[in-house]
Amino acid sequence: MPESSYSGKDIQVLEGLEAVRKRPGMYIGSTGPKGLHHLVYEVVDNSVDEALAGCCSAIEIVIHADNSISVTDNGRGIPVDNVPKYRKSGVEVALTILHAGGKFGGSGYKVSGGLHGVGVSVVNALSSRLEVEVKRGGQVWQMTFERGKPLGPLRSVGKTKATGTKVTFWADPDVFETTEFSWDTLSSRMRETAFLNKNLKITLVDERELEPRREEFRYAGGILDFVKYLNDKKEPLHSRPIYFETEGAEGVAEVALQWNTGYSEAVLAFANNINTHEGGTHLDGFKNALTRTINDYARRQGILKDKDENLSGEDIREGLTAVISVKLNEPQFEGQTKTKLGNTEMRSFVQSIVTTGLAEFLEEHPKPARAIVNKSTQAAKARAAARKARELTRRKGLLESSTLPGKLADCSIREAALTEVYLVEGDSAGGSAKQARDRSFQAILPLRGKILNVEKAGINRALSSEEIQAMITALGTGIQDEFDLQQARYHKVIIMTDADVDGAHIRCLILTFFYRFMRPMIDAGYIYIAQPPLYKLSYGKKHEYAYSDKELQRAIGALAENTKYTVQRYKGLGEMNPEQLWETTMDPARRTLLQVSLDDAMAAEEAFIDLMGDQVEPRKVFIQRHAKSVRYLDV
């Protein structure tokens, strides 16, 4: 379509998409890997909306060899008729007008209206090219765009009896820092989406590999299968997850829960398929009902006596894996990251269905019921004992920030926001780091050997571990329900371990500690991973460092022909002298730090259990696959 034929309205439209290109972050969060993957979710969410409307049973996502992405569904197809208000085809409206999604037709609980529900037009704006194919009304329609602008009108290219939509897009390299999609990130998200939409078949294909990789997700049990999956590597307390589903005027609520013999709580809450990380009314309703119903049951059975205190929610949720999924018509998202459900009607709705469903389960299944109550009373006892132990250690001054651990080499600046602490594997590397550091703002805490796996040990044992006490006192925040971010003594906590498998293991143990005891530190973005180099390449009087095999090969390739060089492989931090450690890993001007984020609760949970649970095999596999290539750790 020649530019000159645009009307005034069209120009406004283009300005809309121009705004997206000017400030992509406002629409998709970032232009890093996270924002990039967001493009896929945006398109898929539109297909999922078709599934929620009962009009789509299968979605296929293909990562093509050139990192373009196709999303194909068998929904109704984007409307092709003229939309009078805009005097354009529905397809063009959907792809060029911001927030057009819900404005022309469509009903049911929508995903795409939710969190980042910005619409496919944003994907179009941020793609160097986008092709859409719609099967609808007996015909196949096509239209192509570049940087959001149509290359021509929507045209019919053939006949078909099928319906559906296929969107292929090339993320714009001028907008994104990288256009390389991650299989792991996409597959974990697609699995989650499949769990949340019972029976919806989602296929993910990767054509970048010689032998295309393909995985199909389809769960007849929905979130019941989700809970089974999350508990897969754990030992369940009762064989089948408890599950209920209710539809009312408020919407639909589904709940699945199963306790395991472990100590951690994994309760995930979703609203219209959006992971409500910050919780909200549906989660509150669930927790209230759970605490009340278990206490009522324990009293009625005489397990709790009149003189006994009620079991606390935390005790009851120890070892609980649960998924709550609600779908409602006008979700209100609140909170800092807009991931907190605000609709008040959901509190009582979820509370009442959980109360009824759980009470019924307990009455009908006395054996698991008893096991669950016993587990909670055990937790209550352990917590009381731990509290006592903590009070004792506190009295001894062990957990008080006034007595810092002896081996901490603290920095001189007191302003936490300006300071950082390195948690260093081993005393010898710790020694080098102490010499290398800038002592004004860098503190060093050497940790000896493998720190305790807090996933396997209860809180009692964890608190009596010397290394863990040292971390707690050095960081100053306290732990778990007594955690206070304001008290953090440093705003950067940098984990520095050897670049080998043992180092990766220790790093994971330390991360597990943060995940279980100081999760808000991760949420606040305070936790980092140092990147020591793997190689030193020396030639003539010069040298450079390489942080991966690829980088080393590139550096060698860049040398003039016949240049003599030597390569030193660093197996551990100890092989670097303090000066080298400073220039490669600790100097803020030259180092690279990886910020740890756990925004994908499921993947995180899964990875930690793989790594820290009782089974050795998945841990090995994970470490071998990721040890060398952990680029950004929002797993």
Active site residues: 425, 498, 500, 502
Of 167 and 474, nearer to ligand 0RA (C-beta) is 167
- 47 interacts with ligand 0RA by CB under 6 A: yes
Chain position carrying tokens 């971390």: 471
- 295 interacts with ligand 0RA by CB under 6 A: no
- 119 interacts with ligand 0RA by CB under 6 A: no
- 105 interacts with ligand 0RA by CB under 6 A: yes
Shortest distance in whole angstroms from residue 124 CB to ligand 0RA: 11
Shortest distance in whole angstroms from residue 120 CB to ligand 0RA: 6
Q: What span, in angstroms and rounded, lies between the C-alpha atoms of 144 and 168? A: 9
Q: Please answer whether residues 275 and 330 qualify as being in contact, where contact means their C-beta atoms are separated by less than 8 angstroms.
A: no
Of 106 and 426, nearer to ligand 0RA (C-beta) is 106
CB atoms within 10 A of CB 470: 22
- Pick the binder of ligand 0RA from 24, 33, 106, 357 (CB under 6 A): 106
The region of 42-50, 202-210, 343-351, 506-514 touching ligand 0RA under the rule CB under 6 A is 42-50
> Helix, strand, coil: what percent of the chain each, to 5?
40, 20, 40
- Pick the binder of ligand 0RA from 97, 120, 186, 411 (CB under 6 A): 120
For 201, phi and psi rounded to 5 degrees? Answer: -95, 120
Of 165 and 473, nearer to ligand 0RA (C-beta) is 165
Q: Which residues of 15-47 are buried (b: 16+ CB within 10 A; e: fewer)?
A: ebbeebbeebeebbeebebbbbbbbbbbbbbbb
Instruction: Compose the 63-82 pattern: x for residues touching ligand 0RA by CB under 6 A, - for all others.
Output: ----------x-xx-xx---
Shortest distance in whole angstroms from residue 153 CB to ligand 0RA: 18
Q: Is 15 helix (H, G, I), strand (E, B) or coil?
A: helix
Token representation of residue 533: 């180099």
- 94 interacts with ligand 0RA by CB under 6 A: yes
The three state secondary structure string of 358-369 is: HHHHHHHCHHHH
Shortest distance in whole angstroms from residue 457 CB to ligand 0RA: 48
For 517, phi and psi rounded to 5 degrees? Answer: -110, -30
Q: Which residues, 6+ apart, have CB-to-CB distance to 309 below 8 Å?
A: none
Shortest distance in whole angstroms from residue 75 CB to ligand 0RA: 4
- Pick the binder of ligand 0RA from 13, 38, 41, 46 (CB under 6 A): 46
- Pick the binder of ligand 0RA from 165, 272, 321, 376 (CB under 6 A): 165
Of 52 and 398, nearer to ligand 0RA (C-beta) is 52
Q: What span, in angstroms and rounded, lies between the C-alpha atoms of 635 and 188? A: 9
Token representation of residue 223: 């979130």
Q: Is 586 helix (H, G, I), strand (E, B) or coil?
A: helix
Shortest distance in whole angstroms from residue 165 CB to ligand 0RA: 4
Shortest distance in whole angstroms from residue 110 CB to ligand 0RA: 10
Of 94 and 529, nearer to ligand 0RA (C-beta) is 94
- Pick the binder of ligand 0RA from 10, 50, 206, 610 (CB under 6 A): 50
Q: How far is CA 257 from CA 223, 254, 272, 374, in A?
A: 9, 10, 19, 17
Of 92 and 315, nearer to ligand 0RA (C-beta) is 92
Q: What span, in angstroms and rounded, lies between the C-alpha atoms of 213 and 625? A: 16
Under the rule (CB under 6 A), what is the footprint of ligand 0RA?
46-47, 50, 73, 75-76, 78-79, 94, 104-106, 120, 165, 167
